[in-house]
Amino acid sequence: MIALNNFIEELQALLQVPAELGAEALDVAQVLRQRLAAAHSLPKNTNTSEPCPIANALDLFANGIESMPSNLRLISRNLVALRDHLIWYRRQEPDYPAFMHAHANAQIIGPQGLLLSDDLMVGVSLVNAHTTYPDHWHPPAEIYLVLTPGLWRQNEDEWHEPGIGGYVYNPPNIVHAMQTQQSPLLAIWCLPL
């Protein structure tokens, strides 16, 4: 699948995170780039794709690709080309029913990804406008590549906007959340497992 190979190559190139994120983030990015370099040889998932439950938000993103910074256009086009091959799912948050119907996630590489891996997880989160992706945490560190406007927070810190093409580094087990305003949020997440 050409779009998948191109997506992996573009992501590998874009994971040159800025030094301001700190030495730990730079180390995690290096591990991610190394694992992405070997991703082409991973086994393919034979499970059936699941359609994106908030496809209208993905359509809005697709329609805006040509106005994005040039270094993000190719990965964005390839991500959109993969949309119908992904297994989209919703994070279950019974305490936040509005959130449950306003977001979608998909793994591209990982235990349920298009390519199966037990040492790397790469995916995408899509969140409708005016929605908060609630606090969550996980043992692996995580780097987000942000493709649309949106707000981010760690612990009880202030919300901040990394900007289109910005990066967010979440150390292991840190509580973090995302929030949208007038437009949907789309971000690629990468975790070494």
Beta bridge partners of 151: 179
Longest Cα–Cα distance of the chain, Å, equals 42
Tell me what pLDDT residue 94 has: 84
Q: Report how far residue 169's alpha carbon sits from residue 25's, in angstroms, rounded to the nearest whole number.
A: 6
Residue boundaries of the structural domains of the chain: 2-192
Q: What is the pTM of this model?
A: 0.97
Tell me what pLDDT residue 158 has: 98
Q: Report how far residue 42's alpha carbon sits from residue 49's, in angstroms, rounded to the nearest whole number.
A: 18
Q: Report how far residue 107's alpha carbon sits from residue 50's, in angstroms, rounded to the nearest whole number.
A: 11
Q: Report how far residue 67's alpha carbon sits from residue 64's, in angstroms, rounded to the nearest whole number.
A: 6
Check if the beta carbon of residue 134 is closer than 8 Å to that of residue 179: no
- Return the CATH fold of 2-192: Jelly Rolls (2.60.120)
Both tokens of 6, joined, read: 């191109």
Both tokens of 193, joined, read: 């497992």
Check if the beta carbon of residue 131 is closer than 8 Å to that of residue 125: no
Using the structure block, give the residue that is written with the tokens 């942000």: 146
pLDDT tens digits, 22-78:
999 999 999 999 999 999 999 999 999 999 999 999 999 999 999 999 999 999 999
Crossing angle between the packed helical segments 23-37 and 2-14, to the nearest 10 degrees = 150
Tell me what pLDDT residue 81 has: 98
Q: What is the pLDDT along the chain (193 residues), one digit of tens a residue?
A: 899 999 999 999 999 999 999 999 999 999 999 999 999 999 999 999 999 999 999 999 999 999 999 999 999 999 999 999 999 999 988 888 889 999 999 999 999 999 999 999 999 999 999 999 999 999 999 999 999 999 999 999 999 999 999 999 999 999 999 999 999 999 999 999 9
Tell me what pLDDT residue 85 has: 96
Tell me what pLDDT residue 97 has: 87
